[in-house]
Chains A and B, each alone.
Chain A
Amino acid sequence: MTAPLLDLRGLTKAYPGVIANDDVSFAIQPGEVHALLGENGAGKSTLVKMIYGLVKPDSGTMALNDAPYTPAEPRAARAQGVAMVFQHFSLFEALSVAENIALGMENPPKPRDLSARIRDVSQAYGLPLDPESLVGDLSAGERQRVEIIRCLLQDPKLLIMDEPTSVLTPQEVEILFHTLRKLSAEGTAILYISHKLEEIRALCDAATILRLGKVVGACDPKQTSAAQMAEMMVGKSLAQPGRDASDPGEVLLKATDLSLPAASAFGTPLRDISFEVRAGEILGIGGVAGNGQDELLAVLSGERATPRGAVEFNGADLATLPPEARRGIGILSAPEERLGHAAAPDMTLTENAVLTGATRKGLAKNGFISWGRARAFADEIIARFDVRTPGNHVAARALSGGNLQKYVVGREILQDPVVLVINQPTWGVDASAAADIRQALLDLAQNGAAVIVISQDLDELLEISDRFCALNEGRLSDPRPARGLSMEEIGLMLGGAHGMQEAAI
């Protein structure tokens, strides 16, 4: 492997106020699974956008198979054998798999031929998929397969994957890795972006580490420990979240046979959900997004009306209590969607502090807002959770995803919740900030709060939860002590790989 497939030399891209990539050079060999590591804002996205032709570098060169490679747009990149699977899928739910794939092709073959080719490719790579089924009916893992097959039909030489496993069950991850190893054995190179270091150790042959837009190191993931890689990414050693063991106190929040119809055609109904959380305890709820997570959070936050008698706080029925009154008695929540749900995009960080802090932080008296106190609260969140922003006057949409996440999570944690319900606390947040958030959640529980963490990141849940249960198609499994649970058991609790176990080898 002397001639690299893709050779990047001195790539630089600056945006107003920030250098996203600064003199980045590395090479990807044919058939190599190459990991790209880095914190939020390290420049990974900009780099792959340049390779995929979405962004033009300010300086530096790329060479594909020793020939100059300057894709003006993604179409040019695809024509030269570079394909990309995005973190967020671009699929039409009302169309079939084959129709979705045809939409992404330059010259789609006849529908019948296309379906046959989809079947061939899906069988060859162990990606079971029916070309005729509607995308709206598919699980996240199956939707990802649609995107991958769409790429594979173009015979790519380089496949870029951005955080592919964040939406998958453990079994689905196994299927994906099997496919990727097979592709790599056939000579397709894969550029793999992930925050999950253990996955990278299991899958990748080489790794390049970015920090603040610069290449700060390269390693062989198979020879390097996850902790070492994390240190290279962050530039300092990471503290492992932890807390002293303590006995849980009395039951604070209790749900009994909570059922709720779906709010929309693509929503999920909640079915007979029962659980209880005690003071000083963290209850982890795992499961792939779209299985009722949003609905469960909405019903606990008060955003949707709670059926009478279904949820009790300290023995009192919560049914008629609106969100602000729930905050008043100490039930706080942080939804998954940061922009538009947890925060108003066009409002400043100060205004967004008022969004949930008005009552509990005393930011409003007799209905009149004290902007001085709101600014102080916003500054406190920014300082305590290391939110990178020019100041509290910045609009929420101007923050990077990870930074805004730190802000909205911090906003709830700093209000001293009695019960905190939080959906995807560390989604898109880099390793060190994620560790900070987890530590803050553990500290909350330590101080006697009851915490419900809803997450797709099973490692995270096992790390911080006392008890674990799974939410699948609106049903909640019985909680089990998190200590000692194996990945296989959890996978089965999550409903396996959606009937596709036979493909996992």
Chain B
Amino acid sequence: MIRLEKRPTPSRAWSLGTPILAVILTMIAGGAMFAALGQDPFETIRVIFWDPLFHERFAGFSRPQLLVKAGPLILIAIGLSLGFRAGIWNIGAEGQYIVGTLAGAAFGLAFYPSESPLLFPGMVLAGLLGGWLWAMIPALLKVFANTNEILVSLLLVYVAEAMLASAATGWLRNPEGQGFPGSRNLSRHPGTDNPELFAGTGIHWGVLAAFIAVIAAYVLFQRHMFGYQIKLAGQAPRAARFSGVNPGRLVILCLGISGALAGAAGLFEVSGPAGQITIDFNVGYGFTAIIVAFLGRLHPIGILFAGLLMALTYIGGELAQLILQVPAPAIQAFQGMLLFFLLALDVLSNYRVRFGREGVA
């Protein structure tokens, strides 16, 4: 019989080792799945994990895509990790991402055709503010009306999607767009664009913001009282109140920060890689970032790597569909396996596995 024995202190070695083990197990189980689909498992794994970065023909296109895709994921996940560590569950980053996009883009378009250098910083601020405001709805409702922030933030995603559709087809539609839905192109207009800063790297302002957020969150959790209070509130809510943490203040701060970062991520996306507001502008970064946050164990450095890994499986998955005609659902199942193994192996850092039977009560 296999028994689990709680460790007195969580094992550091295992909490670092489990993500690597999870990736290896995913490769094995995913390889078996690809083999069952009639693909060469080794080639498929290579296409997913290796070719996006090093394939002689495709890497030139897909390598910059890695940071373009990882940037918003990391930026949003860092914000979410603050709340998640404190036991505050913002599931609606997708909605905050959209509202941030709308606020930032509307700010930029309001001054069209201005090319002022102050325009882009203003758009970033508007994006932060839009995401923050959208997150304040579940935050204030939770603090003052004791509602559940999971439900409220999630449902507000659908409101935000409706707002996005109305903006793309109505109030932000390009007046010179012959009636097609979609706004003016922000990335092709000086002043509102978020260009690639270093050619061939995919780094734009949003990616830089993501790196800064990683460093800031790292310092916050390692050294700052606020990070300490977040951890305390998540681990032992009663001890946190005894220590003097105000639960309502924590809810407002955590939801506010995660909303603002999600909003900024949306603004960087619409003014850079996406270029314009369209009906289907959002592609689920806000939801995928939840996975990234947990994949990275809610640790800033972990989130950095998890965001890169997640982006890699997306790009590699697309490549595998393109080169090998692997069906898209198989790629999604493969990504699901990764999350499954990671969460399942989580148990190893807190528990010791024992074989054999002893007097168990």
A contacts, CB < 8 Å to B: 53-56, 72-74, 301-303, 322-325, 327, 335, 337, 340-347, 351, 354-356, 358, 364, 367-369, 371, 394-395, 397-398
Contacts and interface: CB of A to CB of B under 8 A. Distances in A.
A344 B239 CA distance: 6
B240 to A, nearest CB: 8
A446 to B, nearest CB: 27
Q: Give me the 6 closest cross-chain CB pairs, A-B, nearest first.
A: A56-B359, A323-B244, A324-B244, A398-B8, A344-B236, A395-B9
A194 to B, nearest CB: 23
A74 B361 contact: yes
Contacts of A53: 359
Contact of B226 (A323, A367, A394): A367
15 contacts: A55-B361, A73-B361, A74-B361, A303-B242, A323-B242, A325-B244, A341-B238, A342-B239, A344-B239, A345-B236, A356-B242, A356-B243, A358-B225, A367-B226, A394-B9
Nearest to B226: A367
B9 A398 contact: yes
Contacts of A74: 361
B9 A341 contact: no
A340 B238 contact: yes
A397 B8 contact: yes
B224 interface: yes
Contact of B225 (A54, A73, A302, A367): A367
Interface in B220-234: 223-226, 228, 231-232
Most buried by A among B10, B235, B243, B358: B243
A325 B246 CA distance: 12
A56 B8 CA distance: 21
A225 B342 CA distance: 60
A375 B275 CA distance: 51
B246 A322 contact: yes
A303 B241 CA distance: 6
B238 A72 contact: no
Contacts of A322: 244, 246
A355 B243 contact: yes
Contacts, number: 81
Interface string B155-183: 00000000000000000000000000000
Given A73-B359, A73-B361, A397-B8, A346 B235 contact: yes
Contacts of B359: 53-56, 72-73
Interface residues of B, number: 23
A325 B243 CA distance: 11
Majority SS at the chain B contact face: helix
A347 B235 contact: yes
A56 B358 CA distance: 8
Q: Which of B10, B235, B358, B359 has the most CB of A within 10 A?
A: B359
A355 to B, nearest CB: 5
Contacts of B235: 344-347
A55 B358 CA distance: 9
Nearest to A351: B228
A355 B232 contact: yes
B1 to A, nearest CB: 14
B228 A368 contact: no
Contacts of A345: 235-236
A347 B231 contact: yes
B225 A355 contact: no
Contacts of A323: 241-244
Given A346-B10, A398-B9, 14 more contacts: A73-B361, A327-B244, A337-B238, A341-B238, A343-B236, A345-B235, A347-B231, A347-B232, A355-B232, A368-B225, A369-B223, A369-B224, A394-B8, A394-B9
Contacts of A344: 232, 235-236, 239-240
A55 B359 CA distance: 6
Contact of A395 (B10, B224, B240): B10
Contact of A354 (B9, B10, B228, B246): B228
A340 B239 contact: yes
A369 B243 CA distance: 15
- Max chain B C-beta neighbours (<10 A), residue from A73, A74, A355, A356: A355
Contacts of A364: 225
A7 B71 CA distance: 70
Contacts of A347: 231-232, 235-236
Given A56-B358, A56-B359, A342 B223 contact: no
A303 B237 CA distance: 12
A64 B223 CA distance: 59
Interface string B1-22: 0000000111000000000000
Interface in B1-53: 8-10
Contacts of A73: 359, 361
Interface in B158-214: none
Contacts of A325: 244
A356 B239 CA distance: 10
B358 A367 contact: no
A368 B244 contact: no
A389 B8 CA distance: 12
A323 B236 CA distance: 16
A341 B8 contact: no
A69 to B, nearest CB: 14
Given A54-B361, A72-B359, A398-B8, A340 B236 contact: yes
A135 B223 CA distance: 47
A346 B234 CA distance: 11
